[in-house]
Amino acid sequence: MRAEAQNTADQIGKSLELLAQRLNVETATYRLEEFNARVEDPKLWDDPEAAQKLMRDRQALVDAIATYDGIKQELSDNVELIEMGEMEDDYEVVSEAEAALKKLSVKAAQKELEALLDGEADANDTFLEINSGAGGTESCDWASMLARMYIRWAEKKGYSVELQSESAGEEAGIKSASYKISGHNAYGWLKSESGVHRLVRISPFDSAAKRHTSFTSVKVYPVVDDNIEIEVNQSDIRIDTYRSSGAGGQHVNTTDSAVRITHHPTGIVVTSSEKSQHQNRDIAMKALKSRLYQIELDKRSAMVNEVHENAGDAGWGNQIRSYVLQPYQMVKDLRTNYETSDTKGVLDGDLDGLMGATLALAVSGKSRAEAQGN
């Protein structure tokens, strides 16, 4: 095969390797047989919730096997067509098969990323919190840029975005904002964004046009659904109502209905200021439960510190990603070393590459290239 076609085939093969790893392909058939045997149990529907979960898990396994087998077979078929076409000097067949390989490569890469979203809460909606850090007005402006970036990303995914609360900066931007992002796998995608984001640029607020560094922290929590029980003792919380702050207009509702809930055992504080007082109380309580659930998820993952303790201050030494606009153009994730010079694209919401590299890292503690044996 020509070098380009061979490289495409090799890339599909690497995607298949990671799909096989997530599927545990050697035991997949046996696990499906076990599911099928349990489905035939006449007592299955005595417990409807357990039965529904079993059926969902079985279907997920069926889909994963079908995806893996389908890509593997399509790769084999097209490679064989290319080889036969080259032997017979039928370059029309070769060209068609090479085009099919390119389409398959895109499909395989997408399925590879989707296969990484199999955590307990990955399919859930998510809360996204953005808080400006060191840098004053610069940081507040950077926080608003990040908010726009995530909203653009969510829109491209077809997700809905609902502003929960917002505090405007004194001169520009925002001090903080909280959003609920709804859509399949919203939390699974966004969970990798928790941490401090660093911006380096020529300041639009500096008349001397000097280069400035700004920091903003991002925190992500899954929305707790009805299948997840989180108990909150009323004696552990304080509920305050107050007049929400902000500039008003499209994004901020300056009414007296804002609600703040403080959870004394953890020090977690959540707010909502976009609806009626009753609705705000419900929204804030759900946000609190999501924060507590995130802590529980982190404990199960054997993290050393709870998420609200290890997030760190939004400043030097705690960043997960750098966005450099001056003196050169580069976005680099410091956990995976994934980098791109398309800073405009990233700030316009093209984040799947950065997120995918972090998801792959979480699979085995390796970078995507290392996980693939490069």
pLDDT tens, 203-212? 887 767 788 8
pLDDT band at 161 (very low <50, low <70, confident <90, very high): very high
Beta-ladder partners of 332:
322, 339
Q: Using one digit for the tens of pLDDT, what is the confidence trace for 113-140?
A: 777 787 777 888 899 999 998 768 889 9
3 state SS of 236: helix
The residue type at 244: S
Q: Is 177 a residue whose pLDDT tops 80?
A: yes
Measured between alpha carbons, how far is 109 from 112 in angstroms, rounded to an integer? Answer: 5
Measured between alpha carbons, how far is 82 from 101 in angstroms, rounded to an integer? Answer: 10
Contact 216, 142 (CB under 8 A): yes
Between the alpha carbon of residue 360 and those of residues 114, 310, 365, the distances in Å are 11, 22, 8
Q: Is 286 a residue whose pLDDT tops 90?
A: no
pLDDT band at 315 (very low <50, low <70, confident <90, very high): low
CA angle 133, 321, 352 (to 5 degrees): 120
The residue type at 62: V
Lowest mean pLDDT among 202-211, 215-224, 249-258: 249-258
Q: Using one digit for the tens of pLDDT, what is the confidence trace for 255-278?
A: 456 888 888 888 888 887 665 666
Q: Given this model, what pLDDT does residue 313 score?
A: 55
Measured between alpha carbons, how far is 91 from 102 in angstroms, rounded to an integer? Answer: 16
Q: Given this model, what pLDDT does residue 243 score?
A: 65
Q: Given this model, what pLDDT does residue 119 score?
A: 76
Residue with tokens 């405007």: 168
Q: Which two tokens stand for residue 173?
A: 């931007």
Nearest to 40 by CA among 49, 51, 56: 51
Burial profile 249-271: b = 16 or more Cβ within 10 angstroms, e = fewer:
eeebbeeebbbbbbbeeeebebb
Q: Using one digit for the tens of pLDDT, what is the confidence trace for 61-116?
A: 898 899 999 999 999 999 999 999 999 999 899 999 999 999 999 899 888 877 77
Beta-ladder partners of 181:
126, 161
